[in-house]
Structure 1
């Protein structure tokens, strides 16, 4: 499960990140609403943990903008504002669930997993935009239709979809796509990327080259 934690309390964020990571989740943290909006524009998350008292762009404004641009990612509001009026405001702005601070960590985990189940996020799957890739089979689906990918194309796409919006180095891709260590041409990864790009046309997902760094996959802007 990939969680975007939007919280301006650094000590709490660090503690929550450690706990949720130990419980098998992948956590990314940002401390203000503007940065969170940018992250949600380039990456894909299974659930958002959102504090309301944020600098620059507060939680309710952020939530309204997320829903305003049609993003349906599940949002769990986690805040010290526990009054009924605050809960109603959060839910009306588009929150899927509400948890007041202080909270029990077991309950937090249960609520996050429940939101993902309701949204149809299955374990062992990676998501980016309209793409869904099964870890165990390596099969990738675009809008529910299986794509015809070679094993190397599937391995490369899986490596990129582990963290959409984040670069993967050419060296790491070489090791994952050609694991046998067999001699390959210097441009072997580029060839696989080129072929995969053609197959991703009209899926709403693109592979971006970061010169001197590597490649990343993200939703088309």
Structure 2
């Protein structure tokens, strides 16, 4: 299960990420509300944990914008405040649950389990054109054959196939796959795009990864 954690206190964020990963969750962390909204608009998450007090955009505003767009993702709000009004505001704005800091690890895990229990498991297979991507096996396939993708190839293809015909910036791919503090050059994105293009060509794909000058990349059908 894949979660987004939006918490601006980085020491707490790192601790929560470790707890969740130890309990078999996949977690991506962001540190302000604007990034939280952007990631949730673009990403494929099973649930989100949002701190209420964040820079750039507070958690309640992120929540309201998501619900206004019709995004039903389960959301747990974190708050250092214990006043009833703050909890009511969060729930009235569309939160599934709330947790007051500091919290117990067992309670955090129980609340995540509770709010995701009724969610339908995501389909393991994605498709666009004559290409299919299996999230369980990392297999990229067409009617003519298949390849098992390396981890970062898979992550990049998953992002592109989640948003076909939508331009995704090089910087966003870098952040999503290598992280904020990765000690790699940004041209590594182009290297992995090249790997994927070769595999798509070998599979006789009727789709292609197009480069948009000074913008990023998009997955498009061949003309």
TM-score (norm. length: structure 2): 0.65
Aligned to 1:4: 4
Q: Is the 8 A contact 1:170 1:215 kept in 2?
A: no
Query: Residue 196 and residue 13 in structure 1: after superposition, are their counterparts in 2 closer, same or farther (change >3 A)?
Result: farther
Q: Deviations over 1:6-28 (max 9, x none)?
A: 11111100111111112111111
Q: How many residues align structurally?
A: 186
Q: Is the 8 A contact 2:3 2:45 kept in 1?
A: yes
Aligned to 1:152: 146
The within-5 A match list for 1:1-221 is: 1-121=1-121, 125=124, 133=134, 135=136, 151-152=145-146, 159-160=154-155, 164=159, 166=176, 188-192=198-202, 195=205, 197=207
Q: Is the 8 A contact 2:3 2:48 kept in 1?
A: yes
Q: Deviations over 1:150-170 (max 9, x none)?
A: 6517859x9247863546775
Note the C-alpha offset of 1:96.
1.0
Larger RCO (alpha carbons 8 Å, 6+ apart): 1
Q: Is the 8 A contact 1:159 1:173 kept in 2?
A: no
Q: Distance in 2 between matches of 1:139 and 1:114?
A: 33
Aligned to 1:183: none
Q: Deviations over 1:63-112 (max 9, x none)?
A: 11111112111111121122221111001111111111121112211221
User: RMSD between aligned alpha carbons?
Assistant: 3.9
Structure 1 segments (4+ residues) deviating >3 Å: 124-128, 131-134, 136-140, 148-151, 153-156, 160-163, 165-174, 207-211, 214-217
Q: Distance in 2 between matches of 1:10 and 1:88?
A: 27
